[in-house]
Structure 1
Amino acid sequence: MPVQPPVADVVAPVAPVLDLPPTPEPEPQPEPEEVEPVGFFGRLREGLSRSSSKLAGGISSLFTQRKLDAEALEDLEDLLITADLGAETASRLVESLSKNRFGKDISGDEIREFLATEVATILEPVARPLEIDASLKPHVVLVVGVNGSGKTTTIGKIANQLVREGRSVMLAAGDTFRAAAVEQLKIWGERTGSPVIARDTGADAAGLAYDALEQARAAGCDVLLIDTAGRLHNKSELMEELKKVVRVLRKIDPEVPHTCLQVLDATVGQNAHQQVKVFQEMIDVSGLVMTKLDGTAKGGVVVALADRFKLPVHYVGVGEGAEDLRPFTATDFARSLLGLERLH
């Protein structure tokens, strides 16, 4: 076999030592700015974006720079009515604007600012948080509304807030017709650590409410939230069942319910007026919750309801999350509806 030549050792060349200047210390980097989380005003404004784009966009297209004459006022009134502020409210808002600026040049931004102030004035008297009387043990809240308005979810979100405030809450699954509603309330009970009184599907709702009140009293709970079956406001027999719930509760305490909350779906627009009228006549509604404002361009109906019924609006909902149901504030709502920034 041929002999292989020996393999030479490979020696790496030695790099010359250079007299380099010392490496400078890195410049201290500024601390990253904390990004402020989007508050409820941001979610409210985003939730009302469909309503505000319709209203604010309409105003901007009507008034680039236009004299406020009779024709302009009529166009504005029509726009406010189509934005679900209602004929009476729209008429009063336009009349107020006319008194202040008739015959003068006016921009869309000026009109939006003026209307936001006027709308806030209408809303201010009804923007009242739900007040719980700690001495009642329990403060009984009956939650009513038509099918699909969001009653059960609203109860869960209110319970979540009350528990965070340190209150003890009991839930009564009074929508005995829908197994899904009972299960949904049980989930909220688990989330909030609140006991849930429930019965089999089809059980008597009045009897369940009676048992729930007795148990809440025995346990010394701060709040009892009672769900009810969704019922059409134009079905008298269903409304009579709701009146029965109230009658039975009053056998224990003639003062209950201490609060009767009606939950309204904002997407129904002007139909909400008839719902409030009928429920108020039947069981004396004491306050409103407006849900699903993020899914509609009919947010102006809140203003019309406040102007007509003068009932407290305790909460508005602009999303699915528990944090998206918040106490109603007049100025924030008015400015969001008109597509304006928050006042600081």
Structure 2
Amino acid sequence: MTHSSPPVTEDIVAAARRVLDIEARAIDALSDRLGEDFAAAVRLVLDSTGRVIVSGLGKSGHIARKIAATMASTGTPAYFVHAAEALHGDLGMIHRDDVLIALSNSGETAELLAVVPLVRRQGGRTIAMTGKPDSTLARLADVHLDAGVATEACSLNLAPTASTTCALALGDALAVALLDARGFREDDFARSHPGGALGRRLLTHVRDVMRARADVPTVGVDCTVTEALLQVTRGGMGMTVVLDEAGGVAGVFTDGDLRRAIDRLGDVRTVPVADVMSRQPRSISEAKLAAEAADVMERNRVNQLLVTDEHGALAGALSMHDLMLAKVI
């Protein structure tokens, strides 16, 4: 990299103004393109009896996460699913009544191109948001939203800048159009945002949304991976608790543990679950706020938590899906 003399104030400000001008023009152009496709996307979500799943990879993934958060806080149940993780277990979080919004500027992101047909095969509907109307992703989706830009604001025309700004703005437009169509009003917003925070997040405790111990899948510490996997499937939580001989928690066995075990060992059907389980599973007290559980999951990149009672004993378990159903996230 060649180092030159420090830029003067005027050059710094001029460069910043150039970025803002490019992005402002890109949004203006985006506004001019809105039409029937945008209305069709709104109707698709309104007609759905499920939730909205927003997915992407890289910078588009960051934008997708924010769009999901905006929708969830304005009356449209939504959550983010990482496009790569969807192909390794998280696809089970998407149901036939849901609507998938897939973000990719190129429209050729391999992970999304693999996910969209799987979602459609099980009956889900899809909205693609790309910068290329003739891309593969645009053609695969039920509805395509064109978020294309003439140029990026990056001086090299390489870093996603104007394109991500347009995708974010288009997501905001979609969320607000849905808000208006649902009749979501000031009193609704006030009930869910007391003091500037989501009311449900402030009022819902873990005990209100967790699964009681009797409903949590469990296996003994001496069982095989095959036996544990059957419980994972039956339990619908993406994991099973592994209990020791005394009935205490020895660990948990998750979809992620299975993937890692296969990658390391190959055929794991007869391997003892104790050899591949997670021995120090994350947990949270049933007295904590459900929002705290969501934060713990997000921070530690896990989809389940064990729940303990006031004595530290196993009281139940909680999954990200449980929090979604309770509209905590």
- Tell me if TM exceeds 0.5: no
- Kindly indicate which of the two structures has a greater share of residues assigned to strand: 2
Larger Rg: 1
- Superposition TM-score, scaled by structure 1 size: 0.31
Flag the structure with more relative contact order, 1 or 2, with Cα contacts below 8 A and sequence separation at least 6: 1
TM-score relative to the length of structure 2: 0.32
